[in-house]
Structure 1
Amino acid sequence: MSLMVLSMACVGFFLVQRAWPRESGRDKPTLSAWPSAVVPRGGHVTLRCHHQSRFTKFRLYKEDGILNPDFQGGIFWNSSLMFPVTTAHAGTYRCRGFHPDSRTPWTALSNPLVIRVTGQRAPVWLLVGCPSGSDHPAQPGPKVQPGENVTLSCSSRSSFDMYHLSRDGEIPELRLPAVRSVNGTFQAHFPLGPATHGATYRCFGSFHGTPYEWSAPSDPLSVSVTGNPRHLHVLIGTSGVIMLFIIIIFFLIHRWWSTKKNAAVVDQEPGVDRTVNREEVTYAQLDHCIFTQRKITRPSQRSKRPPRETSV
């Protein structure tokens, strides 16, 4: 009886543990920034913690950088507006949603959201190709051919530790460490590979000590692809078809060679059997001839002596 009670208790505990995350709303909410997580100093950004359960209250936590008492652990309704944004707002944020009807009303922490504040005065230049001693950007709106390899270079007189390249405002960005050049500037070269579509790029610089405080953006650089991008797609498609054709030909040759090799082995093995069979047939024919010869021996060749008379 006690064993049955213990078993039922274990099963009940297991079921409660499995149901607990759903009942307590432990799934992670999502923390988002509008209009962008890269905010100029003095600008504004709205943070929103949302989930499919659509709770209305949430807490905001700042994990690094300068802790802001106005946001650390504060309770917000629907969204939180940061204005005006200063360098103190730069850092990593998470949120917890509130479920009043749950046994544990606060959800798990959301995934991190990094707010980057731009606005340092050191100028940053964005060039097409590797700069050769020039301190000024190339002419805006460079044009490249479809499939042409493109390299963008960030450069500045300030000793930035890291450069960040943003395409059409997308986050996450590309980043590379800065390297001191011969002319005294600090540069980073971003190879973008073959050009397929045009885009607008901006470059930012940052220091290791304040990784979320970026420089003011460089002037936007719009790279346009001239000609018809379909030509590049056709070229890539043709190359793929040729490679597929070569692979198929190689497979067929390999299969033909394997079949021919196996057929040669099969032909050799029955050859021995046929040799043995010829010997057996020859022996059988010879034996048959001897037997037939004995059988049809003429009477003249037999002994002509009369049989002995039996004397009484």
Structure 2
Amino acid sequence: MGGGAQTPALTALLCLGLCRVPGDGAQAGTLPKPSIWADPGPLVAIGSPVTLWCQGSLQAEVYHMYTESGRHPWEARPQQDSRHKASFSVITSMSSHDTGQYCCVYWTLLGHSQPSDPLTLVVTGMFPAPSLSAQPSPVVASGENVSLSCGSDEAGTAHLLKEGGAGPLHSLEARYSHGAGLWQATFLLGPVDSTQRGIYRCYRADTNKPHVWSLPSDPLQLEVSGGPEPSSPSHPQPGSPTAPAPEDHSLENLIRIGVAGLVLLGIGLLLADAWYSHKRTRAAGQQ
């Protein structure tokens, strides 16, 4: 991987909410933008490795990865078995210096693509874990409200995540209060439904370092009772609308009737054959 390789048309990159690559004339950015993702994910524990992927076109000759800090781009060639994507193992030990936004572009014989949407990398484990609690209870009825409070000894920004969710839950009603020596961010959820049940964790970040997060809080299991649930089998009484229908055994009965019919047909054919044989024998004897 040629870390210092550059082309005249890609001498800088600005990632200010939207990545922008300096153009090279009429062909600049005319190709569709690639997609970018992190493996195993964009939240990376301190000291852990992460691989960045860029997926573009089958005609891609080379891929470049950029950061918002303006560092030189990394270069990668397409995978041998799949020319439409490339991997960048540029971070072997995650630190606060590796956080921020990343973008990628690809080059073909026609020029370079539009830049990908920015990918934000966050380092976790830099501070002690906050606490997470639910009020009035982690068990709430469907349609009611519940608040999740993320508390810490230090001031900062709170991030609430749901296991399996797409990203941090940004609540417009999150409010901060400083009382009893605890800095607390409260996220209001509700009216809740069954889709909001699950495992939640929260993180704390310094206000001036938004991509440097603490250890995660202990998991909080939110249960939502009531509301629509998957139907479960009941115990119907005979004659009720949900009782097993007679058709449950109709196939077996049809098979039995069919077998009996074949047996009777066979017996009938044997009797008919015997009757005709006997008739022919008597006719021959009278001659």
The answer to whether the superposition gives a TM-score over 0.5 is yes
Match for 2:95 among 81, 86, 111? 86
The separation in 1 between residues aligned to 2:214 and 2:175, in whole angstroms, is 14
Which of the two has greater strand per residue?
2
Corresponding residue of 1:181: 178
The separation in 1 between residues aligned to 2:193 and 2:148, in whole angstroms, is 15
Aligned length in residues: 192
Secondary structure, in 3 states, of the residue corresponding to 1:212?
A: coil
TM, length-normalised to structure 2: 0.60
Secondary structure, in 3 states, of the residue corresponding to 2:155?
A: coil
Corresponding residue of 1:134: none
The separation in 2 between residues aligned to 1:48 and 1:158, in whole angstroms, is 35
TM, length-normalised to structure 1: 0.56
Where in structure 2 are the equivalents of 1:72-221 lying within 5 Å? 72-77=72-77, 78-81=86-89, 82-99=91-108, 101-102=109-110, 104=111, 106-129=112-135, 142-160=138-156, 162-175=157-170, 179-197=176-194, 198-221=197-220
The separation in 1 between residues aligned to 2:182 and 2:101, in whole angstroms, is 30
Aligned identity (percent) is 30
Q: Which has the larger radius of gyration?
A: 1
Segments of structure 1 that go 5 or more residues without pairing to the other structure are: 1-19, 131-137, 232-312
Where in structure 2 are the equivalents of 1:1-312 lying within 5 Å? 25-53=30-58, 55=60, 57-64=62-69, 72-77=72-77, 78-81=86-89, 82-99=91-108, 101-102=109-110, 104=111, 106-129=112-135, 142-160=138-156, 162-175=157-170, 179-197=176-194, 198-230=197-229
Secondary structure, in 3 states, of the residue corresponding to 1:88?
A: helix
Q: CA deviation at 1:113?
A: 0.8
- Deviations 1:92-146 (CA, angstroms, capped at 9, x unpaired): 11111121x22x2x2222111100111123230111027xxxxxxx8xxx32222
The separation in 1 between residues aligned to 2:220 and 2:61, in whole angstroms, is 41
Assess if the C-alpha contact under 8 Å between 2:46 and 2:94 holds in 1: yes
Segments of structure 2 that go 5 or more residues without pairing to the other structure are: 1-25, 78-85, 231-287
- Deviations 1:69-91 (CA, angstroms, capped at 9, x unpaired): 6xx31202310122221111111
Assess if the C-alpha contact under 8 Å between 2:129 and 2:204 holds in 1: no
Which of the two has greater helix per residue?
1
Secondary structure, in 3 states, of the residue corresponding to 1:210?
A: coil
Cα RMSD (Å): 2.5
Corresponding residue of 1:4: none
Q: CA deviation at 1:199?
A: 1.3
